Amino acid sequence: MFYMSPTHILIIIVVYLALLYVVAHITGKNADNSTFFIGRRKSPWYLVAFGMIGASISGITFISVPGWVGSSQFSYMQMVLGYLAGYAVIVYVLMPLYYRLNLTSIYYYLEQRFGPRSHLSGATFFLISRTVGSAFRLFIAANVLHFIIFQQLGLSYFITVVVTVLIIYLYTYKGGIRTIVYTDVLQTLLLLLSLVSCVVVIGQKMQLNFPDLIATIKDSEYSRIFFFDDWHDKRFFIKQFLSGAFIAIVMTGLDQDLMQKNLSCKNIKEAQKNMIWYSLALVPVNLLFLLLGALLYIFSVNTQFPLPAVADELFPSIAMQPFMPSFFIVIFVLGLVSATYSSADSALTALTTSFTLDILKAQRKGEAVLAKTRKIVHIAMAGVLIALILLFKLINNQSVISALFTAAGYTYGPLLGL
């Protein structure tokens, strides 16, 4: 069997990143401020919809969701159904509002509705939450990449982090949203191919064809979706459904990161069409993650593979085992990189947009000053992400870091209130 060394994996990733830079070079031609912030409102709705699948699935999701199956079965699908209700509110309430006001930063609505202090508060809440959240997601992905590749090549964690963030900065600094719309299509495609490939490979290792694979999962203890019997249970349907609805409204509809690409569509009709198709696509994609999770647990039991103490480590633990095909680790790493970059690139651009327009208000000083300011802010935001990731590594206490991540997430509550 051919051994896939860290160098081989790195070469494959470099080829993949080269494709991203080709796309960035093409889409970054003749880029201006409008291109960077809203893609000149010329983004094809179907590309935005497809790319948003990857943008909403971070590296944490890619690693963690399969691990949830062990304790929560398929109950996460109840929350996904709640997402659909939340996205309906976004489509028919929030998006028409944003387009009617011709917004670039969605937090300008707060200034028009309540005044400049509310505008500043809303933008600040977003900046805190998204900066900490994005750094945390990159931290998790960087840890895995460092362990699998960079550490094996004798490179320091500092280099791993700088390279990880610098790659995102370099392919987004010129074209911004216009570039991201297209790179996210490529990354979402690779993410989905990786996900499907992982399911197929695990199924083959268990000597299951597709009908047998589905039947095995259906007959397992993991396949239960709906929980109506105990309202004290965190998996109770109403709790999960309502949580999903509010999460969608707050973390998509009130989030500059995920709304910025929607605002780059040609008009409100296309933006609504994009959001509807995107929300429908999330159902089978999330179901596929859970199917993979069930397969991983069944595979572990059948092969007597010891389950890790932390459920999040199940997927990467199996991916790195010598009894798996050598290319499986490549599939895993490419899926992780795609999930990480497709969510982090739009986050970096949204942070740049919000700080430039909402905090510094550089758009009031002319196009030349605006362009110079956003370029400085863009690299500064990349530096902030690097610093936060290194701080998380320095803390080296998962409970403390998770508490910081959770605390940052609380800022969405006041944002929803506003």
Q: Write down the pLDDT at residue 400.
A: 54
Most confident stretch, 111-115, 305-309, 356-360, 406-410: 356-360
For residues 260 and 346, is the Cβ–Cβ distance under 8 A?
yes
Tens digit of each residue's pLDDT (9 = 90 or more) over 119-150: 999 899 899 989 988 898 898 888 888 888 88
Q: What is the mean pLDDT of residues 357-374?
A: 95
Lowest mean pLDDT among 55-59, 194-198, 208-212, 298-302: 55-59
User: What DSSP designation does 396 have?
Assistant: -
Q: Write down the pLDDT at residue 321.
A: 83
Tens digit of each residue's pLDDT (9 = 90 or more) over 60-96: 788 888 888 888 899 999 999 999 999 999 999 999 9
Q: Write down the pLDDT at residue 410.
A: 61
Helical H segments across 101-209, by residue range: 108-114, 116-145, 157-172, 177-205
Which backbone phi and psi does 101 adopt, to 5 degrees? -90, 0
* N residues, the chain: 418
| Confidence grade of residue 323 (pLDDT, cut at 50, 70, 90) | confident
| Confidence grade of residue 24 (pLDDT, cut at 50, 70, 90) | very high
User: What DSSP designation does 253 have?
Assistant: I
| Confidence grade of residue 414 (pLDDT, cut at 50, 70, 90) | low
For residues 364 and 40, is the Cβ–Cβ distance under 8 A?
no
Q: What are the structural domain ranges in the chain?
A: 6-25+37-417
User: Nearest CA to 293 among 6, 77, 111?
Assistant: 77
Tens digit of each residue's pLDDT (9 = 90 or more) over 180-227: 999 999 999 999 999 999 999 999 999 988 899 999 999 999 999 999
Report how far residue 146's alpha carbon sits from residue 159's, in angstroms, rounded to the nearest whole number: 9
User: Nearest CA to 298 among 206, 210, 207, 212?
Assistant: 206
What percentage of the chain carries pLDDT values higher than 90? 60
Q: Write down the pLDDT at residue 55.
A: 87
Q: Write down the pLDDT at residue 175.
A: 94
What percentage of the chain carries pLDDT values higher than 70? 94
Confidence check: pLDDT of 1 > 50? no
- The residue among 153 and 322 whose pLDDT is bigger is 153
Q: Write down the pLDDT at residue 416.
A: 67
Q: Write down the pLDDT at residue 316.
A: 86
Look up residue 274 and give its two tokens.
């994009």
Confidence check: pLDDT of 415 > 70? no
Lowest mean pLDDT among 276-280, 303-307, 355-359, 399-403: 399-403
Q: Write down the pLDDT at residue 192.
A: 94
Lowest mean pLDDT among 126-130, 263-267, 402-406: 402-406
Confidence check: pLDDT of 3 > 60? no
Q: What is the dihedral of CA 358, 359, 362, 364, to 10 degrees?
A: 60
Instruction: Give me the residues paired with residue 265 across strands.
Output: 43
pTM above 0.75, yes or no: yes
**Alpha-carbon separation of residue 217 from 212, 227, 271, 296, 348 (angstroms):** 9, 18, 37, 10, 38
- The residue among 307 and 359 whose pLDDT is bigger is 359
Confidence check: pLDDT of 281 > 90? yes
Report how far residue 332's alpha carbon sits from residue 380's, in angstroms, rounded to the nearest whole number: 31
Confidence check: pLDDT of 13 > 80? yes
User: What DSSP designation does 309 have?
Assistant: S
**AA identity, residue 88:** A
Report how far residue 73's alpha carbon sits from residue 294's, in angstroms, rounded to the nearest whole number: 8
For residues 72 and 239, is the Cβ–Cβ distance under 8 A?
no
| CATH number belonging to domain 6-25+37-417 | 1.20.1730.10
